[in-house]
Amino acid sequence: MSESEINPRRARQLVEAKFDPRMKTYVYVGGSLFCVITIVGILLLPFWLIFGKIYIQKYFDHLFCELTTRALHFRKGVWFKTERTIPLDKIQDLTFREGPVLRYFGLSSLYIETAGQSAQSTADMTLTGIMDAHKFREMVMDQRDEVTNVSSGSSSQPASENQTSELIPLLNSIHDTLKKMEKKL
């Protein structure tokens, strides 16, 4: 018996995003330019040129992003690890961006904005280098719409007989209390 048969409310993986290998070149070149531009970076440039590719490969190997039936999960990092889970019903928008440098490397970024995010802050999460980013964005938005339609549809359902029969004594008690209060006034 599978896990989803045992617990039907458990989130099921829909798709795992794949990251474009060209992202490694993008990060390596970006790190090299940063080292050249900054004073401290010039001292670190030889180390970056020697060990940068090893670090970037490990970083790339640790990138993970998946869309489940209820959330978007993301992990990254080698030394400083980050793991985020964003419920789909909290996602307001996925913004697709391609700057000139990203376009040169054939990459793009998805900026995920969530409910409750302040207007001055940046995106809640950024995914750079996802292969077929447009398709992934559409899949996330479609699943988000499905989740929000199900959750909003369930609250408009009429109360079941059990719920109604449990509420009647409570409502009668409230009614009696209000009548007593009215008599005292």
Domains, the chain, ordered by start: 9-176 (2.30.29.30)
Cβ atoms of residues 68 and 140 within 8 Å? no
Task: Give the global pTM.
Answer: 0.67
Which pair of structure tokens corresponds to residue 13? 């993986």
Distances (CA, A) of 78 to 17, 53, 69: 19, 13, 28
Q: Is 123 exposed, middle or buried (0-12, 13-18, 19+ CB in 10 A)?
A: middle
Question: What integer pLDDT is reported at residue 168 of this predicted model?
Answer: 82
pLDDT in tens, 105-131: 999 998 888 876 555 555 678 889 999
pLDDT in tens, 45-78: 999 999 999 999 999 999 999 999 889 999 999 8
Which pair of structure tokens corresponds to residue 22? 């060209």
More confident of the two residues 85 and 120: 85
What's the mean pLDDT when you consider all of the chain?
Answer: 83
Distances (CA, A) of 117 to 1, 101, 114, 125: 40, 28, 6, 11
Cβ atoms of residues 110 and 125 within 8 Å? no
Q: Mean pLDDT, to the nearest integer, of 122-151?
A: 84
Distances (CA, A) of 94 to 88, 147, 171, 182: 11, 16, 45, 54
More confident of the two residues 13 and 165: 13
Residue in the block written with tokens 């050249």: 36
pLDDT higher than 50, residue 1? no
